[in-house]
Structure 1
Amino acid sequence: MACLNKLSLVILSVLVLTASLASATQDPELKQCRHQCKHQRGFEEEQRQQCEQRCEEYIREKKHREREEEGYSRRSRESREEEEEKEESGERIEQNNPYLFEAEHFDTSVRTEEGRVHILKKFTERSKLLKGIENYRVGFLEANPHAFVAPVHFDADVIFFVASGRPTVTLLREEKRETFNLERGDVVHIPAGTPAYIVNRDEREKLFIVNLINPVYLPGEFESFHGPGGEDPESFYKAFSWKVLKAAFKRDRDEIERLFGQQKRGGITKASREQVEELSRHAEGGGGGGPIWPFKGETKGPFNLFRKHPVSSNRYGSLFEANTEDCKDLEDLNLMISFANITKGAMIAPNYNSKATKMSFVVDGEGWFEMACPHTPSEQGRQRGGGSAWQGEKSGKKFKRITGRLRRGMVFVVPAGHPVTAIASQNTNLQILCFEVNAKGNTRYPLAGRKNIVNNMDNVAKELAFGVPAREVERIFKSQNEEFFFPGPTQQEEGGHRAYM
């Protein structure tokens, strides 16, 4: 028994020594272990064989454990890397983000072979956090080349932005008809109750118009009224009794009935080339200048956002903006319009608005956004499941990072005071149109870049705020020399040396 105990202790010592040597020298452990067994004093042949057998068993078990640990470590590493990639690309999301709206949040109000109209549901249907913009609606119109949109008026003020196509828009103001040939970047205000009709005079490109709707009767509720027309869309004339219509038109019922029973092709139909030319023949130009340019004047009419100089521009992006001081129509609506074109892989500087809340429409491209939010999930009804990522503590004054993927046709809301950034994917530019309400007196505060707010602080204030010497604060906040558009996260890692057009 004593001999066996001695043998076990010797083998254990050999294995420990072998493991230590292997760790230090990376020599094959089995060879080292056998060598120790062979030259161990006092070992009989049988004891040497037992020692070598224990070496083999130990090595087999050790390698098995190492393979398991390596596989677990690799899976954990891959899982962490996948989570980081998803988080950086905006894919790490939870449902019911109250600030992000996708295709399922739109209702289709018009759909024909020639086009469609989609209207975003009321903001307050998602969350009470959006009560401040409950009176606004966002929508878009898509129409084929040479499509004609039937005459309609709304119990709402409507702002149109032409994202693509070349529409001719006609407004019927009392006894005056105003017709404008528009192009990409043109913005037009259609006052509540004003009848309007549209034709896409482009022969190849689809018409894409984004609109902001401000109801004047019921908050968040509006209706479209088709007058000139027939069965589809139904004319509101048909709501009146026949005796009223006969008296109003001084014609008999059969003639009136025949007139309003012909159109059955829907609210968006096809026009011939000759009809398109006739509709656009006497139109004024778009918002490129001349008498219909409304900046700093009382004249109403379209204006082109891209004819202004960008308020910020470099190789990473451009920002165009029209505010209440530029345009009489925007002043009346207390509205600002901006358009950001972020080059692929680049980002907008984290920033926030002092007063204005942004309703942002993704016109083209892909990417993601991140926003700092002080509200907890419970404040928006504990809606869980796709579109956002709530980070941080669930109690106390902790900021949550809300992030979501962005692609064409999506809408995201940025409340006043909420810091936000948007990042374009590596494959395509990201183009975002923003309707910014409550814009009068608004200031945009950059949080990074050459003109960030920290650089304007006193040195003592920097030291007190961050708890470190001012030079350490400045080393961080003065390192980014670009002003509003930066290289994105991946570009920063690569050194930001690649030029983007």
Structure 2
Amino acid sequence: MKTKLALHIFLFIIVLSLCTNLLAALSRDDEEQEDPELTTCIHQCGQQRQYSKTDKRICIRSCERYHQMKKERERHMQEEEARRRKQEYEDEDEDEGTRMDNNPYVFDDEDFRTKLETQEGRVQVLNKFSRRSKVLQGIRNYVLVTLEAKGHTFTSPSYFDSDAVLFVVKGRGVIGLVREDKTDRFNLEYGDMMRVPAGTLVYFVNKDENQNLVLANLFIPLLSTPPDFKAFNPEQFLTAFSIDKLEAALKTPREKLRGVFEQEEKGSILKISKEEVEALSKVKEGFWPFTTQTGGPFNLLGTRPYISNQYGRLYQSTLDKPSDLNELNLVLSFCNITRGSMSAPSYATRATKICLVAQGKGYLEMLCPHYSGGGRKQDRPSYQRLSSEVRAGMVFVVPAGHPFLVGASKEDEVHIVCFELNARGNKIQALAGKNNVIIAMDKDAKQVTFMQPADKVDEIFNTQESFFFPGPNNDHSHGRAYAVM
């Protein structure tokens, strides 16, 4: 008897639960059908005396389409917010030891997520740096984004809630900056660097028909924004406002507004005609100084190399004079290493480097004290050597104080773009080559450190090459390094 009673109660609970869920679903449907904005829109369609029955049906369908688009946007925004919160939760809980088998400072294709993709191009965002190692917590809010647009394309105007520093990795194009009362256009060429302040409406044009335009963008977070960057497209977010508010703000009847906002979505990167490219590529003559707030791009590769020999070249922007990057405490550098060559082992005293391999393939070696392993107490620090192959499209990070070297394969030279954070007062301390720190060490310290006479130590470290050298088993047969693609 008790068993039958328990069974009846169990069945009753199941039926009650199903009924509750059904009522909730019906209630949600009723809420959608009774949306005040949709109801008002349909009512106003019916009140238009000048409309025929066909016009009224078209008006009602327009209301329903607009309402559906708004619901889709709201659902998309909720999903994006849920993904963002989940990502932040995973970032907080990510155990740096779970990826010890890989180099935690190297990011491959799988570490990028596609933010936007059309037939004409795509935007990819690198996952948070702190997911790979707690050592990178200091740059967890910085975001690296790549934009690739095919020939004769237009990237719709957007603005960002973060300052951005861009570098032209490939191609040539035009950047349009929409300011308070005008639009400034600037030509973009390979090697150009430029700052785009937060909130500036910006668009891009690839004016080359046969070559893709590729940009590397580092977004620097503002204190007032969440730890992630967001792109805002005016055409899309305007329609998220209530139609009556837009009608009042723009002083335009809603029927006309819907005619503008309900056009078939073509995507944020779209193909344009040759005539449109020419019209959008008209740039005012004259030179815009990079040192002004409203300045245009500055070509890093047009400057004198910071270091140069037949094995490689290093170009660097500078913080010695006022520029758009001074305020961000950021230096941008470009390194070209010839086939079979390598850089000297070195470390940065203050700056953390975020490096994108723009071309070629090679290798990276870094020494890290945070992965020494062993667990036993030692008399002096122990460093783990972290090695990785690198190729075009990969990213690696070098924290301040971490010795590293990078080299090119015997088949291909390698080009590397580096965003150097916290760059003010930073020095490059080379451990080999001309002017290395070992040679600079005083005689007595050398003898005690190496337990060898100072002149014996100098014989090893006193080389004349400056920073770039032939790599292992290099036959020296390659030519000089040039900053060309």
**Fold match (TM-score > 0.5):** yes
Say what the alpha-carbon RMSD is for the aligned residues: 1.9
Query: Of 302, 311, 335, which residue of structure 2 is paired with 1:340?
Result: 335
Cα deviation 1:420-477 (Å, max 9, x = unaligned)? 1101000101100000000111111111001101111222221111110111101100
Scaled by the length of structure 1, the TM-score of the pair is 0.73
In the TM superposition, residue 97 of structure 1 has moved relative to its aligned partner by 2.2
Query: Of 187, 191, 198, which residue of structure 2 is paired with 1:185?
Result: 191
Q: 1:219 to 1:413 in 2, by over 3 A?
A: farther
Distance 2:408 2:284 in 1: 38
Question: In structure 1, what is the equivalent of residue 17 of structure 2?
Answer: none
Question: In structure 2, what is the equivalent of residue 17 of structure 1?
Answer: none
Question: In structure 1, what is the equivalent of residue 238 of structure 2?
Answer: 237
Q: 1:335 to 1:104 in 2, by over 3 A?
A: same
Is residue 168–residue 283 contact of structure 1 (8 Å, CA) maintained in 2?
no
Please tell me whether residue 490 in structure 1 is matched to residue 473 in structure 2: yes
Is residue 122–residue 220 contact of structure 1 (8 Å, CA) maintained in 2?
no
Distance 1:134 1:406 in 2: 22
Q: Within 5 A, what are the aligned runs for 1:35-50?
A: none
Is residue 334–residue 440 contact of structure 1 (8 Å, CA) maintained in 2?
yes
Question: In structure 1, what is the equivalent of residue 133 of structure 2?
Answer: 127
Q: 1:413 to 1:284 in 2, by over 3 A?
A: farther
Please tell me whether residue 165 in structure 1 is matched to residue 171 in structure 2: yes
Please tell me whether residue 103 in structure 1 is matched to residue 99 in structure 2: no
Q: Within 5 A, what are the aligned runs for 1:191-230?
A: 191-216=197-222, 217-218=224-225, 220-227=227-234, 229=235
Is residue 366–residue 428 contact of structure 1 (8 Å, CA) maintained in 2?
yes
Distance 1:226 1:395 in 2: 55
Query: Of 274, 290, 296, which residue of structure 2 is paired with 1:294?
Result: 290
Distance 1:301 1:499 in 2: 34
Cα deviation 1:331-363 (Å, max 9, x = unaligned)? 010100000000010001111111100000000
In the TM superposition, residue 499 of structure 1 has moved relative to its aligned partner by 4.1
- Quote the sequence identity (%): 44
Q: 1:418 to 1:344 in 2, by over 3 A?
A: same
Letter in 1 for 2:471: G
Please tell me whether residue 282 in structure 1 is matched to residue 266 in structure 2: no
Please tell me whether residue 360 in structure 1 is matched to residue 367 in structure 2: no
Is residue 372–residue 382 contact of structure 2 (8 Å, CA) maintained in 1?
no
Distance 2:470 2:250 in 1: 65
In the TM superposition, residue 377 of structure 1 has moved relative to its aligned partner by 6.8
Is residue 319–residue 338 contact of structure 1 (8 Å, CA) maintained in 2?
yes
Q: Within 5 A, what are the aligned runs for 1:30-179?
A: 95-179=101-185
Question: In structure 1, what is the equivalent of residue 274 of structure 2?
Answer: 273
Question: In structure 1, what is the equivalent of residue 27 of structure 2?
Answer: none
Is residue 152–residue 208 contact of structure 2 (8 Å, CA) maintained in 1?
yes
Letter in 1 for 2:458: E
Question: In structure 1, what is the equivalent of residue 433 of structure 2?
Answer: 449
Query: Of 303, 306, 318, which residue of structure 1 is paired with 2:298?
Result: 303
In the TM superposition, residue 284 of structure 1 has moved relative to its aligned partner by 5.0
Q: 1:239 to 1:497 in 2, by over 3 A?
A: closer
Tell me which of the two structures has the higher relative contact order, counting C-alpha pairs closer than 8 angstroms and 6 or more residues apart: 1
Is residue 366–residue 407 contact of structure 1 (8 Å, CA) maintained in 2?
yes
Q: 1:375 to 1:192 in 2, by over 3 A?
A: same
SS in 1 for 2:370: coil
Distance 2:459 2:226 in 1: 49
Is residue 357–residue 438 contact of structure 1 (8 Å, CA) maintained in 2?
yes
SS in 2 for 1:472: helix
SS in 1 for 2:439: helix
Is residue 164–residue 218 contact of structure 2 (8 Å, CA) maintained in 1?
yes
Structure 2 unaligned blocks of 5 or more: 1-98
Structure 1 unaligned blocks of 5 or more: 1-92, 230-234, 379-391
In the TM superposition, residue 263 of structure 1 has moved relative to its aligned partner by 4.5
Distance 2:375 2:411 in 1: 35
Question: In structure 2, what is the equivalent of residue 58 of structure 1?
Answer: none
SS in 1 for 2:280: helix
Distance 2:444 2:372 in 1: 37
Q: 1:248 to 1:320 in 2, by over 3 A?
A: same
